[in-house]
Amino acid sequence: MSTDASSLTAQDLEFLRRPLHGFLTVAAGPLPPQPRPVWFEATAEGTIQLFTAPDSLKVRRLRRDPRASIVVAAPVGEPERWLSVAGRTTVESDGAHDLCGRLAARYWDLGDPARADALSEILTADWVRLVIHPETVSRYAF
């Protein structure tokens, strides 16, 4: 395992650009923390972003304490590999719908009418964008 205090490497970004689920944990939650699976995107700037409802529990917790982490692991059948990113998180009111569309195209086959309809319905809702600014990056590959 290695830890880089603040940044994602080119290899990290390549791994994070795959359609893998991340497991998000926010501070100020129950003890022990209870991660939730999420869609996410690693940006060229080295942040991690996802979308959620503006009135969600995670947003309320992040407004009180902006610390969060996300863990992403390779699927079964591949060599063991995981990446953990922890840092301060901002709640952004812009860009969530665009992010939602990009993530849906990454995780779903939008040629499937049911998935395309689901995305259309999702896009009618209000969303915010959560951005994790890495402060600690840990990684492991076997």
List of domains in the chain: 2-141 (2.30.110.10)
8-state DSSP, 126: -
End-to-end CA distance of the chain: 9
Write the pLDDT tens digit of every residue in 35-54: 999 999 999 999 999 999 99
From CA 116, how far away is CA 97, in angstroms rounded? 14
Find the radius of gyration of the CA atoms of the chain.
15
> Both tokens of residue 27?
């501070």
92-118, pLDDT tens digit by residue? Answer: 999 999 999 999 999 999 999 999 999
Model confidence, pTM: 0.92
d(CA 25, CA 134): 14
